[in-house]
Amino acid sequence: MDKILELEETIVLAECYCCGLKEECTKEYISRIRDSRTGKWVCGLCSEAVKERLNHHSPLANLEEAMKNITKFVRDFNNTTRVNPKLSLTWTMRDIAKKSGEKRKIDLSSGISTSCVPRADLNTNK
């Protein structure tokens, strides 16, 4: 009975900094995760997302920036997709259009100085 009581005292509820998921974890595990994540407890899924962001998307970003980025992503997802899937589709299409427009601006600024399309000579006075 003493071991069961002791075990119950060491297990606590931890809330993920990024997504808000609550998990029962040992105090030692929570401390270990907080030590490796700038003092904040992060669930396993968000931890993997943070690692992915650091390794592949922005290698120069620091841990705090990556965690804030994942937190923003989760918040945006919860505010749109879960609440209103149609609104989520609209926002996604808006983001695609915005990125496409930005890409065109970049392409035009570093693009060709003369037209590639042949002009019709409308001057009939020869």
Has residue 90 been placed in a domain? yes
Has residue 69 been placed in a domain? yes
Has residue 123 been placed in a domain? no
Number of domains in the chain: 1
Has residue 53 been placed in a domain? yes
The pTM (predicted TM-score) of the whole model is 0.55
Has residue 2 been placed in a domain? no
**Per-residue pLDDT reduced to its tens digit, 44-92:** 999 999 988 888 765 556 888 889 989 998 988 887 776 777 776 777 7
Residue 60 · residue 66 · CB < 8 Å: no
Host domain of residue 60: 11-104
Going by pLDDT thresholds of 50, 70 and 90, the confidence category of residue 16 is very high
Has residue 4 been placed in a domain? no
